[in-house]
Amino acid sequence: MSFQEWLERVENRSANIGIIGLGYVGLPLTLLFSEQRFRVTGFDIDPAKVNRLNAGESYIHRIEPEHIRAAQQAGFAATVDFSRIAAMDAVLICVPTPLHEDHTPDMSFVVSTMEAIGPHVRPGQLIVLESTTYPGTTEEIVVETIDRMGATRGVRVLRDPDAAERGGVLVAFSPEREDPGNMVTPRREIPKVVGGVSPAAAQAAAALYGTVFDRTVLMSSTAAAEMTKLLENIYRCVNIALVNELKQLCLRMGLDVWEVIDAASTKPFGFQPFYPGPGVGGHCIPVDPFYLSWKAAQYGFPTRFIELAGEVNESMPAYVVETAKSALERRGVALGDASVLVLGLAYKRDVDDLRESPALTIIDLLLRAGAKVEYNDPFFPTVGRGRKYVLDMTSTDLGDGMSELTRFDCVLIATDHSIYDREQIVRQARLVVDTRNATRGIVSEKIVRC
């Protein structure tokens, strides 16, 4: 198939799209392409996910089962059979890129994915990595694996301008820009950044994504596109660290940092509001700074500013626990003897996403201090083995009118889900440690804001 024929298949929606990784990034992307009448095949290593999707069920809160069934009407099906990659015209890789315990990049999911699809990649395909990662990943892992595993079959990634016409594999990078919980901005209105190993690869990726996104932004290389994603999230990380530090200073000075942020936000230029909290969560903000600092070290460049921001944000759960400890001691209760209810496990309001959630770290620290800890979260009836912690806990029923709150020495608001009645929380609890300003406007000696 010529490059022009490939573009025509995209234009007339006859191209077969494969999406690897059916989580918070891959599944919404699947639905976008299905809405545009593409036949999408979803690939995942988790048979339980695959079976649920093929049964028309959803495991992500904001995606309704009818969305899955609508995609099935357009030809969507999920599979664990990676040999079916050979039938795809485009393959989009949306797998996790977490950190090791020492804050170095864990590229095992990308590597294992490439090893799984490598034997099935064929000339004329477009392979796009969407996973957030350090500059150079696409070349170092995706391109290298295709060239190595395809050598005996005459399959390789061609980088020169006429690569597509000569039947090479097209490789690009296009970072995901998902915002879990955002019900305001339609996904298709979020511009799609694209960088190709060759001009033809960039053109192909832009043509494909242009069918589902209103705007594509072409970059000069895959590395530039990879750096763009890191900049976006490190920008947020640094500014969140700034307000987290200012929050602690304002508390010592008797000032309301939220009032200060609101006032600063009235300036029509030169300021964008960021808000403090118990730490940062999700897949990107807690992870991306360390990806870049790790890569920068290979160039002998210390990223002191970025590393400091990461340290400030990582220190916030310990600050929350210390605040709770002090508040309890002022009431004559030692933390080691206290019963604590943590409200909210998700890393942000009204999402069913636990990735890197500071609430998990807070619970772990409380347990280590000897406290008796329970939690409530409407999105997580149970919580078990995670990447960092094994909690093995069940969500506590709050009772009628949150009556169960009365039996705890401390209620700690870690995530301010909209389902929580803040006035009832203050009314029923003996002590409220509020990390999210959920009780703003309520005056009570029970409340400790941190």
- pLDDT band for position 282 (50/70/90)? confident
pLDDT for residue 286? 87
pLDDT for residue 2? 84
pLDDT for residue 136? 97
* Distance from C-alpha of 218 to C-alpha of 210, rounded to nearest angstrom: 11
Pick the catalytic residue from 94, 250, 284, 450: 284
pLDDT for residue 87? 97
pLDDT for residue 161? 58
- pLDDT band for position 162 (50/70/90)? low
Average pLDDT for 420-440: 97
Sign of the alpha-carbon torsion through 156, 157, 163, 168: positive
Average pLDDT for 154-179: 80
pLDDT for residue 85? 98
Helix (H) or strand (E) holding 110: helix 108-117
Q: What domains can be seen in the chain, in order of their start residue?
A: 3-220 (3.40.50.720), 236-449 (3.40.50.720)
Q: Tabulate helix, strand, coil % of the chain (nearest 5).
A: 45, 15, 40
State pLDDT tens for residues 246-257: 999 999 999 999
Which of 2-11, 131-140, 175-184, 365-374 shows the lowest per-residue confidence on average (mean pLDDT)?
175-184
Q: How does the average pLDDT of the chain come out, rounded?
A: 94
165: pLDDT strictly greater than 90: no
- pLDDT band for position 167 (50/70/90)? low
Average pLDDT for 196-206: 95
Which of 139-153, 162-176, 382-396 shows the lowest per-residue confidence on average (mean pLDDT)?
162-176
What is the number of other CB atoms lying within 10 angstroms of the CB of residue 384? 11
pLDDT for residue 166? 57
State pLDDT tens for residues 391-428: 889 999 999 999 999 999 999 999 999 999 999 999 99
Q: Note the pTM of the prediction, 2 decimals.
A: 0.91
- pLDDT band for position 163 (50/70/90)? very low
32: pLDDT strictly greater than 60: yes
* Active-site annotation holds for 284: yes
Average pLDDT for 204-225: 97
pLDDT for residue 105? 94
* Distance from C-alpha of 374 to C-alpha of 404, rounded to nearest angstrom: 11
Write the burial class of residue 294 (CB in 10 Å: 0-12 exposed, 13-18 middle, 19+ buried).
middle
* Distance from C-alpha of 29 to C-alpha of 178, rounded to nearest angstrom: 9
* Distance from C-alpha of 232 to C-alpha of 295, rounded to nearest angstrom: 17
Average pLDDT for 192-213: 96
- pLDDT band for position 332 (50/70/90)? very high
Whether 354 and 415 have beta carbons less than 8 Å apart is answered as no
3-class state of residue 60 by DSSP: coil
pLDDT for residue 186? 85
* Distance from C-alpha of 171 to C-alpha of 25, rounded to nearest angstrom: 19
| Helix boundaries (H) for 170-265 | 199-209, 222-253, 257-264
Average pLDDT for 165-181: 84
CB under 8 Å to 401, separation ≥6 — which residues?
Answer: 424, 428
CB under 8 Å to 108, separation ≥6 — which residues?
Answer: none
* Distance from C-alpha of 356 to C-alpha of 354, rounded to nearest angstrom: 6
